[in-house]
Amino acid sequence: MNSFSEYPFDERIRKAIEELGFTKPTPIQSQTIEPIAEGRDVIGIAQTGTGKTAAFVLPTLQRYLQRDPAEEYKGPRVLILSPTRELAAQVDDSIKQLAKHADFRVALLLGGVPYGKQLQALGNDPEVIVATPGRLIDHVQQKNTHLRAVDVFILDEADRMLDMGFMPAIHQLIGFLGKGERQTLMFSATFPDPIARLASRLLKDPVRVDVSPPVRTPEKIKQGAFYIEKVRKPRLLRELLALPNMTSVMVFCGMKVEADFIHEVISGDGFEVGVLHSDRGQKERTRALDEFRNGSCAVLIATDIAARGLDIKDVSHVINYDLPNNFEDYVHRVGRTARAEAEGEALSFVTPGDLLTFNKIEADLGRPIERYDFEGVTMPWEAGIPSAAGAGRRGRR
């Protein structure tokens, strides 16, 4: 489907699309709207910003509007789970916009806010529930609603659900669904093993659509690592950033406070440096990103959440100041460099406490990561062997 007019949308939907000024479907929309409207299960590998919300809302709304309006209300029929309040609120907004000419009642159920309005929304016989997992479990357990009539189940940002520890909650919610026929849609920016397993359990003969940006395979990116005491990391970072080939460097930290700390340290050295994490205001984040993109800032310090999905050209180096916890995040970070045909290198700081994770990442990568030393700053890799006991491999240099 290359244009919205190619598809026989209900007039009420067509009007909303027009009013929103959507001229043509985004890639994820052009590949998923038809199968979803036909009732197929779909796996969509897509990030926020690709138009994925409309990709599942439009055909779901279309199917709903084709139902017999005289059908008796048995409970909410569409369940959309989102990992965070912000994302759930965005989905709710999208539905309100796309369904503004139709009667498609939504209950938005978020944690951390009072129950009053949510109870009111549930009392209004909603067709759709958009929820974060914990609060929805509360409502079901308190019998404020039930999920037995759900025949469209949508898991949004499944990989973030996993990151945030929601898998047990999702399994619990699946147990609340009815036993009848159901359509299941799963959207995720990445597709790690636990998500793949959940998908194979939950989805029947799914159509798989992948619109993830072309990340260069890690095989083509030079990758190295330093073995270092935690306290010496700032020193190593300074030494590396002073090298002439470090023209455009993304530095990844595990925590926001750490990102702020390094930002302060490195700025004090006279480097032009920006910082990107979720506690910084939107304006500040946009400015940091713009300055890094246009080259006025050579260094950008970021956390994973803030950096997900960014497409920045010409990143010469990625530095894992803190090693990511898993292979998915490693690949994602490393893929920020050497985009298109550019050269790039990824360097990881590995502390004694990181050795097991590092070995696991290297095993998943399926080839060795170069062991580097920085004289006077790093430790010899051999020093790590005793604490890596059980990992069953030898350090190389």
What residue ranges bind ligand AMP (CB under 6 A)? 22, 25-26, 29, 48-54
Please check whether residue 16 is in contact with residue 100, taking contact to mean a CB–CB distance below 8 angstroms.
Answer: yes
Residues 6+ apart with CB under 8 A from 285: 276, 306
- The nearer residue to ligand AMP, 282 or 294, going by C-beta atoms, is 282
Question: Whole-number minimum distance, CB 5 to ligand AMP, in Å?
Answer: 12
- The nearer residue to ligand AMP, 26 or 325, going by C-beta atoms, is 26
- The nearer residue to ligand AMP, 80 or 236, going by C-beta atoms, is 80
Please check whether residue 227 is in contact with residue 350, taking contact to mean a CB–CB distance below 8 angstroms.
Answer: yes
- The nearer residue to ligand AMP, 50 or 378, going by C-beta atoms, is 50
Please check whether residue 150 is in contact with residue 77, taking contact to mean a CB–CB distance below 8 angstroms.
Answer: yes
Question: Whole-number minimum distance, CB 234 to ligand AMP, in Å?
Answer: 36
- The nearer residue to ligand AMP, 161 or 262, going by C-beta atoms, is 161
Q: Which 3 state secondary structure label does DSSP give 107?
A: strand
Question: Whole-number minimum distance, CB 296 to ligand AMP, in Å?
Answer: 28
Alpha helices (runs of H) in the chain, residue ranges in sequence order: 11-20, 27-37, 52-65, 85-98, 116-123, 133-141, 158-163, 167-176, 193-202, 233-241, 256-268, 282-293, 304-307, 327-334, 355-365
Please report where in the chains the tokens 């702020």 appear, as a residue.
260
Question: Whole-number minimum distance, CB 100 to ligand AMP, in Å?
Answer: 13
Question: Whole-number minimum distance, CB 272 to ligand AMP, in Å?
Answer: 31
Please report where in the chains the tokens 């048995």 appear, as a residue.
74
d(CA 368, CA 318): 18
- The nearer residue to ligand AMP, 25 or 76, going by C-beta atoms, is 25
d(CA 98, CA 102): 9
- The nearer residue to ligand AMP, 193 or 311, going by C-beta atoms, is 311
Question: Whole-number minimum distance, CB 7 to ligand AMP, in Å?
Answer: 12
Question: Whole-number minimum distance, CB 47 to ligand AMP, in Å?
Answer: 7
DSSP code for 77: -
Residues 6+ apart with CB under 8 A from 312: 250, 289, 292, 293, 336, 339
